A = this chain, B = another copy of it.
Amino acid sequence: MKHILATDIGGTTCKMGVFTPELELLHKWEIQTDTSDEGGRILGNIHQSFQSEGYSPEDTIGVGLGVPGPVDFNNGILNGAINLNWMHRKPIAAEFEALSGMSTMVDNDANVAALGEQFKGAGMGHKDVVMVTLGTGVGGGVVSNSLLIHGHGGAAGEIGHLLVDYDQRFQCNCGKKGCLETVASATGMKNLAMFYHHEHKGTRLDMAIENGTVSAKMIVEAAQEGDALGLRVIDEVAQYIAIALSHISAVTNPKYFIIGGGVSRAGRILTERIEAHYRPITFPPAYENTEIVMAELGNDAGIYGAARLVKQYLT
């Protein structure tokens, strides 16, 4: 039997997976990501790891790679990935094919995670799904007709840069203000906590802000304990996410919004508030039967999605 190989390349580890042609996961492991020498060893180490597990071009259908940066999908070219010390455009697909002799598909890590969740995780059985990853930043992946949408320049699914804070209070890394990322990422939670803490003097959260030790995790925990500032931040985060989901619903009308990433660990205290804000501002036919759910595959989403790309485009 031939196999599909998949790797989700992260700044710390590379998740490795081996799948059947029907996309059953046979075997998974991790290797360290060696970002020294401008990341020059990363692809070689991945290839070597597959080789040492016994996989050769003859028994491989193809390799799917998820990478933490913007990708020109049609040409398999990564436009730099700071976390990997890859500072320039890099033709990943061509390089890995030359190294391994295996056909290779490459896509952005948020995209492969979305595709993984769509076909095997929280979106299973549905062709139209959007994943929202709330982490240090806000990422996204849009799957429609069971295919990832890349758009003509690869910027589809950049929902972290939807304009949702109409007051445009906080500066975004992209150079603009008002982006979802400025109010719904871990950084965004801190932005909001700092914006409001003067109205909540003397609380533990206020003190953490004053002495510069506040974290998104602390804000979530404070909210779960009933702290007024924590709850105010969580509610506003939820409100801005709801505005973004409302816009997305009118454009691609997904069955599921799948929420992942570190901030999503806030859990129901967050999703219940997103739900409550989302429906009143959304065109009814566009939210009917749409559900907001938690991601299910965790760290495996990327390898599932990368393997799925191989299945979709190389078989």
Binding site for B on A (CB under 8 A): 70, 126-128, 142, 144-145, 147, 149-159, 161-163, 166, 174-176, 179, 243, 246-255, 281, 283-286, 288-290
Most B C-beta atoms less than 10 A away, residue of A147, A153, A154: A153
Are the CB atoms of A175 and B126 closer together than 8 Å?
no
Please indicate the chain B residues that have their CB under 8 angstroms from the CB of A163 in the complex. 243, 246-247, 281
Q: Which residue of B lies closest to A148 (CB)?
A: B145
Other A-B pairs beyond A149-B251, A155-B288, 5, CB < 8 Å: A151-B253, A153-B289, A162-B250, A174-B284, A252-B252
Contact residue among B144, B248, B254, B285 (Cβ-Cβ distance under 8 Å from A144): B144
Are the CB atoms of A251 and B251 closer together than 8 Å?
yes
Are the CB atoms of B251 and A286 closer together than 8 Å?
no
Contact residue among B158, B175, B288 (Cβ-Cβ distance under 8 Å from A286): B158
Q: How far is the CB of A241 from chain B (nearest CB, A)?
A: 14
Please indicate the chain B residues that have their CB under 8 angstroms from the CB of A290 in the complex. 152-153
Question: Complex: how many Å from CA A18 to CA B154?
Answer: 36
Are the CB atoms of A149 and B153 closer together than 8 Å?
no
Please indicate the chain B residues that have their CB under 8 angstroms from the CB of A145 in the complex. 145, 147, 149-150
Please indicate the chain B residues that have their CB under 8 angstroms from the CB of A154 in the complex. 253, 285
